[in-house]
Chains A and B, each alone.
Chain A
Amino acid sequence: MSAVWRAARAGVRRRRVQTFVIGLVVLLSTTTIVVALALLAATSAPFERSFARQAGPHAIAVFDPAVVSPDQWAGLASPGVAAAAGPFSAVTLQPAERVGPGPRGPVTVVGRADPGGPVDRLDLWQGRWPAAPGEIVLNEPVHELFQDPGTITLDGTAYTIVGRAHALSGSADAWMTPAQVTALGPDAVQMLYRFTGDVSTTTAVEARLADATAGLPTGALEAAQPYQVVRDRIAADVAVYVPFLGSFGVLGLVVGIVIVGNVVSGAVVSGYRHIGILKALGFTPRQVVAVYLLMVSVPAAVGCLLGTAAGSFAAQPLLRDGFQGMGLDPGVGVDVWSLLAGLVGVPATVVLAALVPALRAHRLSAAEAISAGSAPRLGRATRVQHRLAGLRVPRAVSLGLGLPFARPGRTAFTVVAVLLGVTTVTFATGLTDTLVRVSAIEERSDGQVAVQPSNGLIRLTPDGVPPPAGPPVTTSRTDAEVSDLLRGLPSAARVAALYRLPVTAVGQTEALDVNFMRGDYATMGLADELTAGRWMAGPGETVVPSELMRERGLALGDRITLRLGGAQRDLTVVGTLMDGPNGPPGILADWAVLDGLDPGRVVPPHEVRYQVQLVDGGDVAAYVRAVQAADPGLDAWDTAQVSDMLLTLVGFSSTLALLLSAVAALGVFNTVMLNVRERRRDLGTLKSIGMTPRQVVTMVLASTLVVGVAGGVLGIPLGMLAHRVIMPATAGASQVALPAAVLSVWQLPTLVLLALAGVVIALLGALVPARGAARLTIASVLHNE
């Protein structure tokens, strides 16, 4: 066994606490870094990665089987085609009216012998592939929410669902065996292509598809879908999460690196005296450097391994919650680069952080190293201490306040760690508050109870709630009678009716969805959604969701001319809403506008959605029961439910804020521990002249107060800035604007509490070493000196 190894092993044994701290810090930092990088990677081109993993087709081409013969496929030249799959026979079937989730409308069923192949490799995430007639696999992204029935009826025939697979490309709604599709009489043939060369634009993909199908008869190609169609749809969904995950990812990365650097370099600096002794014993400078690298590498290696595993484990639910249902799972996972960063990048950071001070020790003589390790630096710290000595505060406090200035570099790193922890907590707090406010506004504007008369075909229920058993019945009441019924039930305070109708708008290429509203809608909270302008003052005015304003190029003050039948009505845009009533974005107009446009129109009640707000303290469940008892043809439900997105984002921010705060506190713990070790002699002296254990604890905690306050003071504005920038960016990604009220979340009590967050992080980190300092045995400390 070499002397270097023996010395390193002895050092690790002698400094058990520090070794443990290095291991723990590296573990937590690695966990944070792996989670952060996994989030960053997931938000960076998630579609492209999942698409590449599935070898998704750049183009899905649908051909007329009557025009193209099987021989023509075989002889088809394929210039620019990297890989192709097919021809697959396809048939379009009509599903029976279904209750609950599952395909509605025409279902494209493709005959495929297996889910693999050179193109469009499907994720068969549940069950097995069809092997016999009567079996079917549905195309669904991975989910855990629903337990579908085991059969599906298409064109009157029941098929057994034997599995669920997911094709990101959306190349089919379901798959059967090729023989089954042939037996059903295919109405199309599908080819899936991956091309070489430039496929970045729709035009480029279409050009390559044209080259690939040039040998086929004219009219053979019935339809084609470039992959950009799916990519753009998914990108819009994912974009909501990108700013959050990206910002948390960057914060996690920086905190992790700062803490590891601080802890490891601090460990080496505090070991200068030991380095000097090793040199005095005859260790060469290179051997000394090796000893210290080994001493930090042993716990760091363990921390890296465990941290990478923990990070991989911790990132999974975050990624799954963020991306589940978007069609990217199970492709969204911790990528290999994030794991490599944990296993290789963090150890490299550790070695680098240790190497810099170790190389400094390498250059020092034995005597210099010994004195560098024990003598505090004079200069700024002494001047600060002298000034603090004159403060009219307990001496233990003033002594503690001066301690951080003795090691300004170490203190600065610790401040940065606390600062980033506070930034994260601030951002997470603001994010949660904003999301809760958005949710509250939406809940208010939706009414407490939603009522929808049944159309006799399907029943409507809130998300995740199974519909009632039995065939739906319809109401015999008219629209006006339903309104009267709802208004007359106990506890009803306000009732509004909403009728959505696409209406031609003069000068617009597409019809505008118009939400005609009647009743108490003006006082039910929609006005709180205003992001610009004002609420409607009369039937000649409208407010428009921000998404629609952008899509249609509208501005406040613009006039919209609605045309229905032969009549026209002008509406002036006087306000912009966050997103308006549930459903696709539509302008708001008073029901009087509809009456003016089409006076004789009879609106069937099942096309109207009613919103009810109850008197203060009204029992929502009792009201819902009363509606259903009064008229079984009315579906009614409590609208209060926390959205998945709210839960996911609050979950993200809380988890990461907690993790980063823990890492920051650990950074403080390490700094205080090193400071206490370096000041053992001073502590012994202070205790020998009568400093009580409580005064020692006070002094050590006071030393971290500077760090906590500085981190808090600097971290709060950073967190507020992040909130101010990221929230609108996220809203923009969702195509909505936010009302100023949901962004103005910073109240004095909140800011005071956040400022305390830095102090709490610092004090929590310092408490254990402070108590340790209070328990130091004076005799042994002074004797050892």
Chain B
Amino acid sequence: MTTVVRLDNVRKEYGDTTALAGVSLEVRSGEAVAVMGPSGCGKSTLLNMIAGLDRPTSGSVHVHDEDLGRLNETKLALFRRHRIGMIFQFFNLLDDLPALDNVALAAQLTGSRVDTARQRALELLDELGIADRRNVYPAALSGGERQRVAVARALMNRPGLLLADEPTGALDSRAGEQVMDLLLDLNQIGQTLVIVTHDERLATRCASRVVSLADGRVAGERALERA
């Protein structure tokens, strides 16, 4: 299996605060890695580094053999557009676009024609079971539906790596279960996943490996046998 993500001694400091204190980590293709740890241990910062949303103070981040530290803002944007899919705890959907256009947006930014983008978005919404909600605005969707829309958007450009930041954190247990199933299904068809979560159930259900963080360092790793 090829290495999709490689972090070498990554440090991130915000003023006097150290969020990451020398993290080294590898994620291989097809893996589902859960990053766990207490609040403030640096989980989200780690995810931001992999997604190219933030830059390390020192160390290097390679994703798909791309050294993110060498990319300017435009190239980072293009990297995110083509290589990364992001799922957020609070969905981060655009409130003034209906579900279909929220999903299609990711492809339209690449220059896809509107009808092509909408067709692909509709297929994804259909696969995720919410095609009938395509013209509904986020405010009128349930939490689970919003997160499915967010997942569809993340998958729109067929990314090699899917990153999820507390994807079930804002959902009730039933919706959380649905999202877990969805992520599991995705991984089982070969989608590489990095999930940041507090949720042990999510980790054990979806991840093949758990990386524990504490005080900005990797405190441990364990492989999981999935049911």
Contacts and interface: CB of A to CB of B under 8 A. Distances in A.
B137 A382 contact: yes
Given A382-B137, A690-B77, A783-B44, A395 B109 contact: yes
Given A378-B96, A689-B86, A782-B92, A385 B80 contact: no
B113 A690 contact: no
A691 B78 CA distance: 8
A120 B94 CA distance: 73
B75 to A, nearest CB: 9
Interface residues of A, number: 38
Interface string A760-783: 000000000000001001110011
A381 B77 CA distance: 27
Interface string B93-110: 111111001001110111
A196 interface: no
Contacts, number: 103
Interface stretch (B25-33, B46-54, B175-183, B187-195): B46-54
Contact of A389 (B77, B93, B101, B106): B101
A689 B108 CA distance: 11
> Chain A interface mostly helix, strand, loop or mixed?
helix
A161 B92 CA distance: 83
B219 interface: no
A274 B113 CA distance: 41
Contacts of A616: none
A688 B97 CA distance: 17
B97 A681 contact: no
A385 B88 contact: no
Interface in A110-142: none
A477 B128 CA distance: 106
B77 A692 contact: yes
A390 B114 contact: yes
A406 interface: yes
A124 B73 CA distance: 68
Contacts of B74: 692-694
A434 B40 CA distance: 70
B157 interface: yes
B88 A386 contact: no
Interface in A628-646: none
A688 B81 CA distance: 8
A396 interface: yes
Interface residues on B, range: 35 or more
A336 interface: no
A386 B98 contact: yes
A389 B104 contact: yes
A689 B137 contact: no
B62 interface: no
Interface in A580-638: none
B223 interface: no
Nearest to B49: A779
A376 interface: yes
Nearest to B115: A390
Contacts of A783: 44
B146 interface: no
A693 B73 contact: yes
Interface in B44-92: 44-45, 48, 51, 53-54, 73-74, 77-78, 80-82, 86, 88, 90, 92
Nearest to B157: A690
Nearest to A689: B106
A691 B139 CA distance: 23
Contacts of A779: 45, 48, 53-54
A782 B91 CA distance: 10
Contact of A690 (B45, B48, B82, B93): B82
B137 A378 contact: yes
A386 B97 contact: yes
Contacts of B113: 392
Contacts of A695: 77, 109
A186 interface: no
A386 B95 CA distance: 11
B96 A406 contact: yes
A396 B105 CA distance: 10
B11 interface: no
Contact of A778 (B54, B110, B157): B54
A83 B153 CA distance: 88
Given A382-B95, A779-B48, 15 more contacts: A378-B95, A378-B96, A378-B137, A382-B96, A386-B97, A389-B101, A395-B105, A395-B109, A689-B81, A689-B106, A690-B106, A690-B109, A695-B77, A777-B53, A783-B44
Sorted from nearest, which 7 A-B pairs have the closest CB atoms?
A690-B81, A395-B108, A779-B54, A692-B77, A685-B92, A779-B48, A778-B53
Interface of A: 375-376, 378, 381-382, 385-386, 389-392, 394-396, 399, 402, 406, 681-682, 684-695, 774, 777-779, 782-783, 785
29 contacts: A376-B95, A381-B96, A382-B137, A385-B101, A386-B101, A389-B114, A392-B113, A682-B94, A684-B92, A685-B93, A686-B94, A687-B80, A688-B51, A688-B53, A688-B86, A689-B80, A689-B105, A691-B77, A691-B81, A692-B73, A693-B74, A693-B77, A774-B73, A778-B48, A779-B48, A779-B54, A782-B88, A783-B44, A785-B92
